[in-house]
Amino acid sequence: MSTAPDMALRNGNETHTISLYVHNKPGVLVRVALVFARRGYNIESLVVSPAANGPFSRMTITCSGDPDTLEQIIKQLEKLVDVVHAIDHTRDAVYETEIALMKIHCEIDSRTEILQVAEHFKAKVVDYGSESMVLRITGSSEKLDALLALLRPFGVSELVRSGKILMARGKATT
């Protein structure tokens, strides 16, 4: 959960989370990605899903860079025909979460310690193998990063993260 004033900085650049409400049509994702690419902005995380109503989708994009350049990107995004609205939620009160699956290499003698760490972070074991286990965890990006850092010494053999999703709190538009 985030209340926005706790914005992360990466390489001296502020991390931004942008929400787009778009028509669900072929080619929209490419056109959106091109707006970022033309300005030299890297998309760090991108989640696309159907919206609650009608033929629309919601995109949640996480990126970092110069705020002035991002302002220009948002203006360009709003000019695209298939974009209904684009909002930078960097300083907004939002609820955000992410999900990850982590495959951990674990011998029998280290399982107890791994399970204790997983329990502390409320991670769920979704698969046991003879030499590995898969954990599912949900929460803030920082929470996932912290669990990953603690489990790396055991041997994280695979990692899949969903990317951040968010919703504006109260009556504010996402």
Per-residue pLDDT of 66-87, as tens digits, reads: 888 889 999 999 999 999 999 9
pLDDT digits (tens, 9 = 90+) for 91-134: 889 999 999 999 999 888 889 999 999 999 999 999 998 899 99
Give the number of domains in the chain.
2
Q: CA–CA separation, 97 vs 137, rounded Å? A: 10
pLDDT, greater one: 174 or 50: 50
Residues 97 and 2: beta-carbon distance below 8 Å: no
SS3 of residue 110 by DSSP? helix
pLDDT of residue 11: 52
Task: Output the domain CATH number for residue 47.
Answer: 3.30.70.260
Where in 81-174 does DSSP place strands (E)?
A: 83-88, 94-105, 124-128, 132-139, 156-161, 165-168
Reported as a pLDDT band with limits 50, 70 and 90, residue 53 is: confident
Contacts of 101 (CB under 8 A, 6+ apart): 126, 134, 135, 136, 158, 159, 160
**Are 70 and 108 in a shared domain?**
no
**Are 157 and 102 in a shared domain?**
yes
What range defines the domain where residue 70 resides? 9-92
Asked whether the predicted pLDDT for residue 1 surpasses 50, the reply is no
Residue 174 lies in a domain: no
Q: Read off the DSSP letter of residue 174.
A: -
Residue 22 lies in a domain: yes
